Structure 1
């Protein structure tokens, strides 16, 4: 039996109950990145419908060194869903009623009580139909939540750019990335750049490298890993002589090809390690063709955070990758 979890610490803002279409009058969203608030009566949450939904949303996130769920779930019953909860960033309603919902479906709405807010409502006539619906749309739901969380981070970073790095990338490499304040440029050679943000306990880094585009074969999983290992061995060294960053092979990286705004990308998601050393963590990279300069561009984000959760740290650097823009020579 799942326990009802009351969500504490959500801040309140003036105009909380305002339902005007003017977004400027609505409060900002509350809650932490990667949280989903599920609104459902206890009988439904504790049924196979709730079990299936919870399993879908808390499945293990791939390619992390320690298990972490895809999202953190907060459950509240409809009677307790008051103004304090209405500003949450990601809200999912579970609805079952034979008369009201003869067909199983999911509805999506944005910015009902706060901004930028995602609201989903899953409807079904009965529990078996609800379970079937979750099974069919679970990947789409996960992608929708991840996409809006990424867009929120991108919007925030755009407001607080590290201007000197942004300008250097554009002038020297003919690309731009929304690097937020707090990052520093560690290396900026002809075909490689290393940018990082360091704290006493964590490290987040962006690696950028370029090489000639010869054919579509450069975008195979094995070739991407080969180029990655060769490049990082040359440029990314540890503090001890003879140590360098490379790809962990015990858990091979996952490969995915996709298109974004008509541009082809090849993605690697896996683990990095320090060869001849003891450091490691998760990374994600995307590679694409720069048609203006006949080259492949790879942008990669990595995290080092021993003893800490890494899901949100990785989400932050991954969001930066999705701001990549390529420019012709001036």
Structure 2
């Protein structure tokens, strides 16, 4: 009887997920904090190997942060939570241990801007195998959704006048009105947002191809480029202090593309030389063949007493709003 009840409940859940694309046409949008996943799973599985596997994949530490923070915040949901958090959650993983091994992805089925991932298997080993197989795909999709969600929230907040950036760099960029111009000259633009524990920052500048590509030591060249910009423009309160790449943590370098342009993505930590300030940074060097240069857009954070994961996503969402004109 208990088994029958569990089956009925799960069928009900799937019906709620898949039932009517029509229901979100009234503007009924998903809810939830940034970087949050709701996981529908029994206590037995959540407290065992399946839960461990989920936490290992989706709550692993974020690369590039000195303080350990999980990629996502995981919230377990029980059957009785369906009517509350479940229907409006933006990112949901359903663990079905009463179906043939498999994986399904449903988007915007119950409300708009929603991802539902269903992982199925009759044994613990089957479920863990599906988690291992599809976790990278799930992470990638959720990150895309969270960046898009941030961008929509930025637009709703109102945007900074980006005409100076457009005139100087031939791009548009959606920066929330909570930011303001700190430095603006013909070679460099710096925008800053004050937060209770510090500030969030966006930098824009250009460098010639050889500044990054010489001798093929890309990461060293990017570090030297960052440090020279910090030495010139970003100083502490005391004489002789300037922002530089922190030597104790090797930056992560990725080759990627940005609006179909080759780019280098660098994540790491900065420090204030001869001072005690530091924090994470996210740097994109985008090859602009039309203007024979790299456009460099960087976000960095100073927030010593608070979590930084969501602040990094905010910066990434701003940078990825860039469009070349």
TM-score with structure 2 setting the length? 0.88
Distance (Å, rounded) in 2 between the aligned partners of 1:261 and 1:295: 16
2:119 corresponds, among 94, 119, 122, to 122
Number of the residue aligned with 1:306: 304
1:193 corresponds, among 172, 189, 194, to 189
Are positions 1:71 and 2:100 aligned together? no
Number of the residue aligned with 1:9: none
Distance (Å, rounded) in 1 between the aligned partners of 2:198 and 2:125: 45
**Is the Cα–Cα contact under 8 Å of residues 63 and 271 in structure 1 kept in the other structure?**
yes
Question: 1:278 Cα shift?
Answer: 1.2
Partner SS, residue 66 of structure 1 = coil
**Is the Cα–Cα contact under 8 Å of residues 26 and 113 in structure 1 kept in the other structure?**
no
Structure 2 gaps, min length 5: 1-18
Distance (Å, rounded) in 2 between the aligned partners of 1:130 and 1:40: 12
C-alpha spacing 1:84/1:211, structure 2 compared with 1 (3 Å): closer
2:148 corresponds, among 148, 151, 155, to 151
Per-residue CA shift, 1:11-60, capped at 9, x if unaligned? Answer: xxxxxxx9442644142322211111000122222231221112211111
**Is the Cα–Cα contact under 8 Å of residues 211 and 221 in structure 2 kept in the other structure?**
no
C-alpha spacing 1:65/1:216, structure 2 compared with 1 (3 Å): closer
Are positions 1:107 and 2:104 aligned together? yes
Question: 1:181 Cα shift?
Answer: 0.8
CA RMSD of aligned residues (A): 2.1
Number of the residue aligned with 1:137: 134
Distance (Å, rounded) in 2 between the aligned partners of 1:215 and 1:168: 25
Partner SS, residue 37 of structure 2 = strand
Number of the residue aligned with 1:29: 30
Distance (Å, rounded) in 1 between the aligned partners of 2:247 and 2:240: 19
1:204 corresponds, among 190, 200, 207, to 200
C-alpha spacing 1:40/1:215, structure 2 compared with 1 (3 Å): same
Question: 1:216 Cα shift?
Answer: 7.3
Per-residue CA shift, 1:222-266, capped at 9, x if unaligned? Answer: 111111111111111112221111100101110111124422111
Number of the residue aligned with 2:268: 270
Partner SS, residue 51 of structure 2 = helix
> What pairs with 1:33-48 in structure 2 (closer than 5 Å)?
33-48=34-49
Question: 1:325 Cα shift?
Answer: 2.1
C-alpha spacing 1:27/1:202, structure 2 compared with 1 (3 Å): farther
Give the count of matched residue pairs. Answer: 306
Distance (Å, rounded) in 1 between the aligned partners of 2:55 and 2:43: 13
1:285 corresponds, among 270, 283, 286, to 283
Are positions 1:87 and 2:88 aligned together? yes
Question: 1:215 Cα shift?
Answer: 8.4
Distance (Å, rounded) in 1 between the aligned partners of 2:254 and 2:153: 27
Distance (Å, rounded) in 1 between the aligned partners of 2:47 and 2:137: 23
C-alpha spacing 1:64/1:248, structure 2 compared with 1 (3 Å): same
Partner SS, residue 224 of structure 1 = helix
Partner SS, residue 239 of structure 1 = coil
Distance (Å, rounded) in 2 between the aligned partners of 1:242 and 1:24: 58
